[in-house]
Structure 1
Amino acid sequence: MHYMKIPLRAAFRFDTISRYRFVDGGDLWSQRSATLQCPHVEGEAPSEPFGLRSRRSTTLRNKRVEGEAPAEPFGVCGRDGARASSVQEAGENAVNTHVVQQPVVDVVVDLPAALQEVFTYLLPRALEAKVQVGSCVLVPFSGQEVLGYVARRYPMDACEAGKLKQVIDVVEGSLPLDENRLALAEWLAHEYRCGLAAAVRLLAPTEMVAKVQRVLRLTPLVQQQELWELSPNAPERHLLELLQSAGGQLPETTAKAQLGATLFNTAIYRLKRRGLVEQKNVLEAATARARVLRHVRLNISPEQAENLAEACASRAPAQAALLRALAVAEEEMLPMAELLRQVGVSASALKSLEARGVVGFADVPVYRSPFGKVNLSQADTTLQMTPDQDRCLSEIGQAIEAGAHRSFLLFGVTGSGKTEVYLRAVSIALARGRSALILVPEIALAAQVVEAVKARFGNLVAVLHSALSAGERFDEWRRAREQRARVVVGARSAVFAPLDNLGLIVIDEEHEGAYKQQEHVPRYHARTVALQRAHREGAVLLMGSATPSIETFYQARQGAHTLLHLPTRVEGRPLPTVHIVDMREAPRARGGVFSQRMAEAIAERLQRGEQVILFLNRRAYASFVMCRKCGTVVKCRRCEVSLSYHKVDHSLRCHHCDYRQSVPTKCPSCGSVHIYPFGLGTQRVEEEMQQLFPDARLLRMDRDTTTRKGAHHVLLARFRAQEADVLIGTQMVAKGLDFPKVTLVGVVSADTALHLPDFRAAERAFQLLTQVAGRAGRAHQPGEVIVQTFNPEHEAIQTAATHDYQQFYEREILYREELRYPPFSRLANILVLHPEEAKAEETCRRAAERCREVIAAERIDAEVLGPVQAPIPRLRGLWRWHCLVKCYQPEVLPDLLHSALEGLSPSQGGTLQVDIDPYSVL
């Protein structure tokens, strides 16, 4: 153990937003651990900022930014001992009621560096009325102006405050920061190893907050001859040409994307040395704001307007017509554009009336509703509860009524009525004056859930997900923040919705990988964040699934969550019958992708006027193109993956970086013309359906057909309205959808995810098969599922066919325990990306070695696997090496990584990513 003695006459305690307050006391020993143990002493002096550097502390640290010098951290004794004396002065001044005080603010500085401190600035009097907690401000930091978010505002003795740098300005936009949300952001920054600013930014949509963008600018030293002196292939010449073509200024991210990280870093280094290019921070305003519509109102009574219209009818007929329209209008104000269009006059007539004081103008906010296409008639608000539903709801309701945090896992088979339990639990929360949050994994699923929630709770509902326009998202987020909406439905990021007095969080399909952020920092899991938020705000967490994640079900069995069970479908409807077809032996329909049995089952449903869902979790026409002579597979130039064949435009596409090329007419290796597509995709399934059943009406739902806004809703609405007989799709069609006329689900290939090099492969395959099977027979007609596979003996397929989650779980948990995978450990995937493979490998080896050193030194029960080349070795031009940390003391994993990786970074052009609790390690 490491200990740090603080030789001060003032001890401190930790308050709710991670600052230190100084009180009378003696020397204090502070253990360097995940939680600082601080004594509680009454009679504290006014709060003072203080910086405590502890490598393994979870708390926010505070630094003061003084004078004109670059901001520096204060240690325990401060700069030249000044800090210690100021602490003593603070204690003495606490009893002096006549000390002049000035307002200061603690600011979360928004920088790419993963800073976990807040910095203290003086608030000028000119800005006092404008700055509140959550305000976006511009502050000086290390010789530049940067953006920050106000975490706290409080008074400080004028003598101390006078040494601080000042806030420069207030910027449009604000974050919903309060003590709870700031504490949540602090936890997030520590738990997922990211900067505090990155965590704070999650509290509001990105387009609602201003940002500082790094740009490159040509300096006056640049002359044309400078360009021609450079070699045509020199990276700095390419960068100069880019800047000149852009008018002398270009965002740094744009230049880096066009040149590549390695060439960009070389070019910028050389050009800055010669004084030809400078890097500057430029403030960009928030792109989303309230939409207003100009309205016109009468400043006189309607009777007076009628009389005035009569008086001016001959000399000003346009004004008279406007007055008459306003006089007879039912509304107090009319939209100006609509009024002018209705009367058929120009705006000059209105301006004349305004000049006379007869009319006035007002800008009225306009709500941009995302519910325009939601069909509320589909939601039944009079459903009768089953005894099992009543029992589950009773226990959930008691927890909500108690007003204390509890977590539940609602384990119910597909079609058992979990959604109705959710809705009635929300009603209980609202009746107690509390708000509710409902999370769904997919945007495609959001529309159907929104229909039910909106029908039940009307205008109290807001929806938040990435498919909304910036304006719609702004309006919905603001409705939630202003408490006009008390129920929010949304995807992963909605877990940060600005709901106050939160009483209930629902996570539908809690097992879904979509709840894990895998692309951007912080790489959080919405389920984990929801649990943390519910705990902090005294809310009930209700997780539901027919196929719970192994970790969640294990935790429920261990007592961490209350386990509730819905074992049967509503109204006693049977689960669908599942038939497994062994494609190694089964006869094919015309030698294609369908077995004879599946083709006959489809024909039978079409003849009876019923609907069919065909599932294949792979888009495109074929998964790769290969030469039959030499075996060469056409690969992406930037990624070590095969290109998928899209027959629609006869192109090859990379589904990772979107690189595209035409299909080669001959093999690039041997020149053979015998080059053909292999493998399956949804486009090929659609083509074979057209050939087998030319009269069938088909819809295809995958990423290629849902790129336009609202496409998910349109396709599903058409299928529900029976405008199509067969819906062909990827995993978008596998979850949560309820179509009464669907009596057959066909799994074209169950093998696509079975053999991936990932310990969760079997679990994901079982969940997907069970979920897609659950789409069949959800009304009064019985359902059937046909699963085509080359691995009929696989336990995931066998247990999915019998709808037996318990049996799958019992087998899987033994496997996890034997190999010590979650829930018996906690994982972190350390991934290094670099244009040069050798440098990626070198950095990854150093990371693994450092982790092993910390594990040995601290005697942590953990191990490091690797480093090895990642299963997908290259993506978007970057080589990928990774190592896996398995920690058997879950609570110490973030601190282990912080200690091991602090200061470690790849060489120029590389990136080191840490994914804690990864959903996939590919």
Structure 2
Amino acid sequence: MQTNQPYDYSIPDVLSGQVVPGKRCVVNFGKGTRLVMGMVVGVQDAPDYAGTLKPIQSVLDKEPVLDKELLQLSSWLANDSFAFWITCLQTMLPTALRTETKRIGKMDEFTLVDKGHVQTVYYVHPAQTAADYATIQASVRSNAKKQLALVAELSHLSQSQGEVAAHALTREYGITLGMLKSAADKGWLRLEERETYRHPYAELDDMPRTKPLQLTDQQQKAYDAVAKSIKGQQAATYLLEGVTGSGKTEVYLQLMAAAQAAGKDALMLVPEIGLTPQMVARVKGRFGSQVAVLHSGLSDGERYDEWRRIARGEAHVVVGARSAAFAPLHNLGLLIMDEEHENSYKQDDAPRYHARDVLRWRSEYNHAPLLLGSATPSLESRARAEKGVYTQLLMPERANKQPLPPVDVIDMREADLDEYSGDFSAQMLAAIKDCLSQGNQAVLMLNRRGFSSFVMCRECGYVAKCPNCDISLTLHMDTHSLRCHYCGHEEAIPRVCPSCGSKRIRYYGTGTEKVQQTLGKLLPDARIMRMDVDTTRRKGAHGRILKEFGEHKADILLGTQMIAKGLDYPDVTLVGVINADTALGLPDFRASERTFQLLTQVSGRAGRAEKPGRVLVQTYNPDHYAIRLAQKQDYERFFALEMHMRHEGDYPPYYFTFKLTVSHEDEDKAAKAIFRLADMLQKGLSDQAIILGPSRAAIARVKRKYYYQLVIKYKNEPELQAVLESMLESTQVSSRSGYQIAFDREPLSFI
């Protein structure tokens, strides 16, 4: 069971002065001798506990790993997200600073293993004179080549008063660390161990610095407004609504410089690690080694070292994905969230926070402005700007004065498709050929990965489903397997139907892998690069693909929604959306908003430089308002229409929402539990609250657990916090019986 309160421990004399808030410590918790990691959240003279206190066993850190700000933030986060406090504290720490308890032998004894490790490098210093090394060299056997090489190197170093890294000697002569330690024991040399950082993107630190560009009038107005708040140390929130290509990034960079000029640090979030390489290159191009990077694409060691650089005040600009919202900057003067509308800013697991809310809290705490940027702001943010909660800044024109690319909608109901052309209409295929014939590049988006959506028997209708989840398996031809995109289950492609024995097994639907294969047949001379979850699993894959595409090593970049935003290539003159309907049919009240945002964002990848661009959108719903308004890139009209729809249906931003989900391996138990929780809510909340459900989740079974949910819609519900807190505590015991209860404030999806 989790705990959600501080516990009192005594401080032994040997640890006097070492135990301070923000340090990790080792304590004996509960009965027996089990050791766990604790976080010191306060020190007081007298205990609140009347019994005998256990002593703290040891302190893990020389300096606090969380400062006063982050400790207060963790407490707020636990309260706001209905997560346990220790879960929030651990969320803020890099993986390398988390610990695990291990049993010692067969006895009930435990030790705590810290996953963190510092990378060190050994340096070799000469300990003798050149004359001494000549004597040593004469005593070494003639066939001891490595020893002779070492002595010669040491003699050279003694004359130049230099040093050499041990790994350089290993690389040059094959001299091992063991040999060096043996030589040190003989008095030949002195070994010095130094801590060193694992430094991602180090190659960008020495690149030529970029100069600030002359701002356009609209950029200057946005800059002036935020810069005034930086200088005045005001905690204001700004919504920068700028069309794709309007130059939002240059505004960000010059505001970061303004923060630095004021002696402050800057934090910038981007929605996905796929966007990070390009953004890091731009920010490092302006600020060099002052920039630290935090995202899940780094190794644990790299994240740990970047985190330590930030905590030690060695980096003053941080660029990262969602988790970078907790970067341990001590002197924040500016916070930026690019593409603020993106779903990836919401955490799926406890604590289920939205990075925007975390940044707003840190903005208030540090008296620093927060800038939210997007071409298609979320309806919630745009509505707050309407009410004056946020200050709206507009950049309606592209920075280079080029017009937005024209968007043509292709009605796929009238398209003449065959097995050879696959999912490509004649217009789309002709446009791609025309684009490539002029030496330009194309970006094609299909928001579904894999080869086919499902495998079905044409004889009996059998569909291959995941044994752990209530979802069909997706065909992946690169691995020749069927794979579940929810739990990772994988199995061989069936040759005959497992149900009726028929050989009439066929593949239905399409994914990026299949489209790549079709394109290869239709355009055999085209160089195609695919960017989706399957091709970007390896470390550094995002950056490598984008770099190679930018170097014209491919003519077509085909991908899922990760290619829809942030990319800026001057030779991309065509953007094609292969199927605009993938999100439109979802049973989600945000389906239209997400479709509009995605189409508008991906359209903005075309014609960003001097060459004019063109966008083609294939759809089976050409008359849908989200698609028609995305074609016109008319955000204001879409906002007005969608807000009317939300008002009619009592949905956000007119109502707040909260989702409760119960899961269990036994479906009957999960159903009974959610109905018990619904009864508690009915009794504890007012008549103004609207409760939807309980009901089965849209995907009722995932990873062998059945899911049931209910949604609360409310405007002002003063008892909600107390009722949910009581529910959080009372459901703790049930976790021992296999139940999992998830609390999700303002969920981004009800399915």
Q: TM-score range by the shorter chain?
A: over 0.9
Moved more, 458-467 or 811-820: 811-820
Distance 2:483 2:749 in 1: 23
Q: Work out whether residues 240 and 393 of structure 2, in 8 Å CA contact, stay in contact via their aligned partners in 1.
A: yes
Deviations 1:509-564 (A, max 9, x none): 0000000011x211111111111111112121111000100001101111111100
- Partner residue of 1:297? 125
2:224 to 386, 394, 399: 394
Distance 1:894 1:489 in 2: 34
- Partner residue of 1:866? 693
1:669/1:167 Cα in 2 relative to 1: closer, same or farther (>3 Å)?
A: same
Q: Secondary structure of 1:534's match?
A: helix
- Partner residue of 2:76? 187
Distance 1:467 1:632 in 2: 39
Q: Work out whether residues 576 and 773 of structure 1, in 8 Å CA contact, stay in contact via their aligned partners in 2.
A: yes
Deviations 1:834-875 (A, max 9, x none): 1111111110111111111101xxx36312110011111111
- Partner residue of 2:8? 120
1:708 aligned onto 2:546: no
Deviations 1:287-313 (A, max 9, x none): 23211111122457xxxx234334555
1:216/1:666 Cα in 2 relative to 1: closer, same or farther (>3 Å)?
A: farther
1:510 to 313, 326, 340: 340
TM-score by length of structure 1 reads 0.77
- Partner residue of 1:631? 461
- Partner residue of 1:321? 152
- Partner residue of 2:408? 579
**How far 1:587 sits from its partner (Å)?**
2.7
- Partner residue of 1:918? 747
**How far 1:133 sits from its partner (Å)?**
2.3
Distance 1:666 1:347 in 2: 58
**How far 1:320 sits from its partner (Å)?**
4.8
Give 1:324's aligned amino acid.
S
Distance 1:604 1:197 in 2: 58
Unaligned runs of 5+ in 2: 141-146
**How far 1:349 sits from its partner (Å)?**
7.8
Distance 1:425 1:892 in 2: 42
1:811/1:124 Cα in 2 relative to 1: closer, same or farther (>3 Å)?
A: same
1:573/1:378 Cα in 2 relative to 1: closer, same or farther (>3 Å)?
A: farther
Q: Secondary structure of 1:677's match?
A: strand
Q: Work out whether residues 22 and 71 of structure 2, in 8 Å CA contact, stay in contact via their aligned partners in 1.
A: no
- Partner residue of 1:237? none
1:656 aligned onto 2:656: no
1:140/1:365 Cα in 2 relative to 1: closer, same or farther (>3 Å)?
A: closer
Tell me the number of residue pairs that the alignment of Structure 1 and Structure 2 aligns: 739
Deviations 1:156-197 (A, max 9, x none): 49x999943321222368753333222111110111111111
1:393/1:870 Cα in 2 relative to 1: closer, same or farther (>3 Å)?
A: same
**How far 1:906 sits from its partner (Å)?**
6.6
Q: Work out whether residues 379 and 452 of structure 1, in 8 Å CA contact, stay in contact via their aligned partners in 2.
A: no
Unaligned runs of 5+ in 1: 1-111, 220-279
- Partner residue of 1:415? 245
Give 2:154's aligned amino acid.
L
2:352 to 502, 505, 523: 523
Q: Work out whether residues 172 and 209 of structure 1, in 8 Å CA contact, stay in contact via their aligned partners in 2.
A: no
- Partner residue of 1:167? 56
- Partner residue of 1:142? 30
Q: Work out whether residues 611 and 743 of structure 1, in 8 Å CA contact, stay in contact via their aligned partners in 2.
A: yes
Moved more, 199-208 or 506-515: 199-208
1:384/1:353 Cα in 2 relative to 1: closer, same or farther (>3 Å)?
A: same
Q: Secondary structure of 1:735's match?
A: coil
After TM superposition, the structure 1 = structure 2 runs for residues 45-444 of structure 1, keeping only pairs within 5 Å, are 112-113=1-2, 115-144=3-32, 145=34, 146-156=36-46, 163-171=52-60, 176-212=65-101, 282-298=110-126, 305-310=129-134, 312-315=136-139, 318=148, 320-329=151-160, 332-339=162-169, 342=172, 354=184, 359-372=189-202, 374=204, 380-444=210-274
Q: Work out whether residues 210 and 283 of structure 1, in 8 Å CA contact, stay in contact via their aligned partners in 2.
A: no
1:898 aligned onto 2:725: yes
1:328/1:448 Cα in 2 relative to 1: closer, same or farther (>3 Å)?
A: farther
Distance 1:623 1:873 in 2: 19
1:360/1:216 Cα in 2 relative to 1: closer, same or farther (>3 Å)?
A: closer
1:283/1:193 Cα in 2 relative to 1: closer, same or farther (>3 Å)?
A: farther
Distance 1:776 1:622 in 2: 28
Q: Work out whether residues 412 and 620 of structure 2, in 8 Å CA contact, stay in contact via their aligned partners in 1.
A: yes
Q: Work out whether residues 469 and 701 of structure 2, in 8 Å CA contact, stay in contact via their aligned partners in 1.
A: yes
Distance 2:203 2:181 in 1: 38
Distance 2:174 2:105 in 1: 50
Q: Secondary structure of 1:485's match?
A: coil
- Partner residue of 1:559? 388
Distance 1:462 1:430 in 2: 15
**How far 1:200 sits from its partner (Å)?**
1.2
Give 2:41's aligned amino acid.
A
- Partner residue of 2:306? 476
Distance 2:670 2:403 in 1: 54
Deviations 1:648-697 (A, max 9, x none): 23321111111122222333333333221111100111111111110000
1:619 to 449, 454, 473: 449
Q: Secondary structure of 2:60's match?
A: strand
1:610 aligned onto 2:437: no
- Partner residue of 1:6? none
Q: Work out whether residues 70 and 328 of structure 2, in 8 Å CA contact, stay in contact via their aligned partners in 1.
A: no
1:346/1:746 Cα in 2 relative to 1: closer, same or farther (>3 Å)?
A: closer
Q: Secondary structure of 1:571's match?
A: coil
Larger Rg: 1
Q: Work out whether residues 293 and 335 of structure 1, in 8 Å CA contact, stay in contact via their aligned partners in 2.
A: yes
Distance 1:140 1:347 in 2: 39
1:537/1:720 Cα in 2 relative to 1: closer, same or farther (>3 Å)?
A: same
Q: Work out whether residues 95 and 304 of structure 2, in 8 Å CA contact, stay in contact via their aligned partners in 1.
A: no
- Partner residue of 1:276? none
Deviations 1:719-762 (A, max 9, x none): 00000000110011111111111000110000001011111111
Identity %: 41
- Partner residue of 1:447? 277
**How far 1:151 sits from its partner (Å)?**
1.2
TM-score by length of structure 2 reads 0.93
Distance 1:207 1:916 in 2: 29
**How far 1:892 sits from its partner (Å)?**
5.6
Q: Secondary structure of 1:634's match?
A: coil
1:477/1:689 Cα in 2 relative to 1: closer, same or farther (>3 Å)?
A: same
Q: Secondary structure of 1:599's match?
A: helix
Q: Work out whether residues 840 and 906 of structure 1, in 8 Å CA contact, stay in contact via their aligned partners in 2.
A: no
Deviations 1:876-899 (A, max 9, x none): 111111111112127764333223
After TM superposition, the structure 1 = structure 2 runs for residues 667-686 of structure 1, keeping only pairs within 5 Å, are 667-686=497-516
**How far 1:828 sits from its partner (Å)?**
1.4
1:174/1:582 Cα in 2 relative to 1: closer, same or farther (>3 Å)?
A: farther
Deviations 1:775-826 (A, max 9, x none): 1111111111100000001111111111111111101111112222111222
Distance 1:852 1:475 in 2: 49
Give 1:181's aligned amino acid.
L
- Partner residue of 2:318? 488
1:892/1:334 Cα in 2 relative to 1: closer, same or farther (>3 Å)?
A: farther
Quote the RMSD (CA, aligned, Å).
Answer: 2.5
1:312/1:577 Cα in 2 relative to 1: closer, same or farther (>3 Å)?
A: same
Distance 2:17 2:157 in 1: 39
- Partner residue of 1:108? none
Q: Secondary structure of 2:92's match?
A: coil
Give 1:390's aligned amino acid.
Q
